[in-house]
Amino acid sequence: MGGKPNLFLRQSSGLVREVGPLAALLMNTAYITYQSGYLLLISSIVNFPFGNPILALILGFITFAPMAYLINFIGSTYYRTASDYVFMSRNLEPRIGFASLLMFTVDQMFFNAVSMVFALTTALGPSLYAIAVSLGDKGLVNVANLVTSNPVVIFTVGAIMLAVIILINMVSVKAGKYLSSAISLIATVTFILTMIILYLYGGELPTVINSIAPGFYGKAIEADLSLPKGNVIYGTIALLPYMAYIFPYTNFIITIGGEVKREAGTVPLAVIGTYVLITVLVGFGLWATIGGLGLNFINGAFAVYYGLVPNVSWPSNMPPPYPPALAILLIKNPVMQWIIAIGSLTWYINSPSTIVLQIARYLFAMSFDRILPGFIAYVNPRTHTPVIAHGLDLAISLIIMYLYVFSVIPALSATMDISTVVTILMYFIILSITAVAYGVKRRNTLITIIGLYLTGYFTWVSYMEVSNPLVYLFTPITSALIFAFFIAVFAAGVIIFEVARYIRARREGIDLMITFKEIPPE
């Protein structure tokens, strides 16, 4: 039967609206992974010890707030799968919208793979080591060392965790929603618990530290005194780029916009509610940690741990000075110690539990627009999940994890941190420029101003990070290879778009560009 070819792959996405207000809030909170952002901030104050971290947090809340407003605007305007992709590809140049989101999708695969590694090496391993030291359990010391430094163990366990998360999402949309919501809740509860312990028992830290490594507490305090002094205003402003690891990421909910129930206030609760919630939680964490442990010890301990202090080294029988490990040393109850240890693992896997949905929805949306092959957008009629997209994500992410863990490509060691710059450059800045185009086209002055401001602000953050990579990206140089790779992905996206456009014009006589004048069906 003849007829006009469809602009889109089919007349309906096949996805269902399963996400209500509470799940939206919990999942968006999980995506931000504010706990690891807090860990990064508390361990980086040492770079600007004369700055005020709590004031920097307040300034970060204010300066990044327009992005939360923009995300909420997009989510409330486009109730579609990958609403941000729809927004960029329909209001900016379609090739740029597609290529930038393709690059961001690959970047998120890198982030997921490396997050699983960090969950073991930065969270679970040090926490197990702290329990072992507290209990005098030599067997557990060996387990902690395996989890922290054995590449076979790290890859195997990390791959299993990621595979389980993705397979659950392939089996059921509801199961995936409940999984990420549960992980988010556990991560938040254990975060609050850890902060309470640090605040209430922090006064015992000198005794605990010196019982493990005699005299070391005093050396940490002395190390803090040797750190450079400077202007508090400059130091506080210099801490703002670290906020880019926390505040901008309220955008998960709009990537599953086609599955969000259209109940009043769902998107604002997920975006604005999450934004306020994580500010309060991170603020509480900073207040409790600094109040309980003292900023002089925190900065001194990390200065020694990072090798910034001559002739003073970190004791080999001490776990790293990460807050969960210190809380475990302070609390003597074994049950509480294990709760904190397992909870610290969820601080890193909560974001991947939502990113796997995000990646699959991006791939689905690009396929639904008939740029990527159509089979990628296949939705299982029973589970209502894009199973092919999930499978593709799993395969690519496991390859990335293998290359990273076994150092097949040494430059990948900087991927986790450089990906933050890539995300800012190729996602948030493009999104901000799109807001300018949208505002000008529709004569929306507020969105135009917000777009202009965010473009300038994110450009400044990117400049700060690239110009001082050791401080902000935790790598001595910005790897040209990693940047070249992501640029190549962007270029490949433009080529893929043109190839798809040529094929459709040749086979169906339709210009692919027409698709981007329409909003995809639900």
Helix (H) or strand (E) holding 511: none
Q: What pLDDT, on a 0 to 100 scale, did the predictor assign at position 477?
A: 58
Q: How confident is the model at residue 1 (pLDDT cuts 50, 70, 90)?
A: very low
Q: What are the pLDDT digits (tens) for 334-377?
A: 999 999 999 999 999 999 999 999 999 999 999 988 899 989 98
**What six digits make up the tokens of 374?**
């159509």
Q: What pLDDT, on a 0 to 100 scale, did the predictor assign at position 410?
A: 59
Q: What pLDDT, on a 0 to 100 scale, did the predictor assign at position 2?
A: 47
User: CB-side exposure of 500: number of CA atoms within 13 Å?
Assistant: 25
- Mean per-residue pLDDT, 72-85: 89
Q: Is the pLDDT of residue 38 over 70?
A: yes
Q: Is-contact 105 359, C-beta < 8 A?
A: yes
- Domains delineated in the chain: 21-123+154-336+344-517 (1.20.1740.10)
pLDDT higher for 480 or 152?
Answer: 152
Question: Is residue 473 classed as helix, strand or coil in its secondary structure?
Answer: coil
Q: Which alpha helices (DSSP H) does 320-333 contain, by range?
A: 323-330
Indicate the average pLDDT of the chain.
90
Q: Is-contact 416 111, C-beta < 8 A?
A: yes
- Mean per-residue pLDDT, 218-231: 92
Give residue 183's Cα distance to chain centre: 15
Q: What pLDDT, on a 0 to 100 scale, did the predictor assign at position 3?
A: 52
Other C-beta atoms closer than 10 Å to the C-beta of 477 total 10
- Mean per-residue pLDDT, 270-275: 95
Q: What are the pLDDT digits (tens) for 12-31?
A: 666 767 788 889 999 999 99
CA dihedral angle for residue 127, residue 355, residue 411, residue 477, rounded to 10 degrees: -80
Q: What pLDDT, on a 0 to 100 scale, did the predictor assign at position 413?
A: 57
Q: Is-contact 292 51, C-beta < 8 A?
A: no
Report how far residue 439's alpha carbon sits from residue 458's, in angstroms, rounded to the nearest whole number.
19
DSSP-derived letter for residue 241 is G
Lowest mean pLDDT among 15-19, 136-140, 488-492: 15-19
Percentage of the chain modeled with pLDDT above 70: 93
DSSP-derived letter for residue 425 is I
Q: How confident is the model at residue 102 (pLDDT cuts 50, 70, 90)?
A: very high
Question: Is residue 115 classed as helix, strand or coil in its secondary structure?
Answer: helix
β-bridge mates for residue 256, sequence order: 81
Report how far residue 438's alpha carbon sits from residue 441's, in angstroms, rounded to the nearest whole number.
5
Q: What pLDDT, on a 0 to 100 scale, did the predictor assign at position 348?
A: 93
Question: Is residue 451 classed as helix, strand or coil in its secondary structure?
Answer: helix
Report how far residue 37's alpha carbon sits from residue 405's, in angstroms, rounded to the nearest whole number.
22
Report how far residue 440's alpha carbon sits from residue 516's, in angstroms, rounded to the nearest whole number.
18
Q: What pLDDT, on a 0 to 100 scale, did the predictor assign at position 28?
A: 94
Report how far residue 433's alpha carbon sits from residue 97's, in angstroms, rounded to the nearest whole number.
11
Report how far residue 114's alpha carbon sits from residue 145's, in angstroms, rounded to the nearest whole number.
19
pLDDT higher for 82 or 454?
Answer: 454
By the 10 Å C-beta count (0-12 exposed, 13-18 middle, 19+ buried), 153 is classed as middle
Q: What pLDDT, on a 0 to 100 scale, did the predictor assign at position 465?
A: 82
Instruction: Annotate 33-70 with DSSP letters as a single string.
Output: THHHHHHHHHTTGGGSTTS-HHHHHHHHHHHHHHHHHH
Tell me the torsion sign for CA atoms 84, 88, 94, 99.
negative
Closest CA to 242 of 482, 477, 468: 468
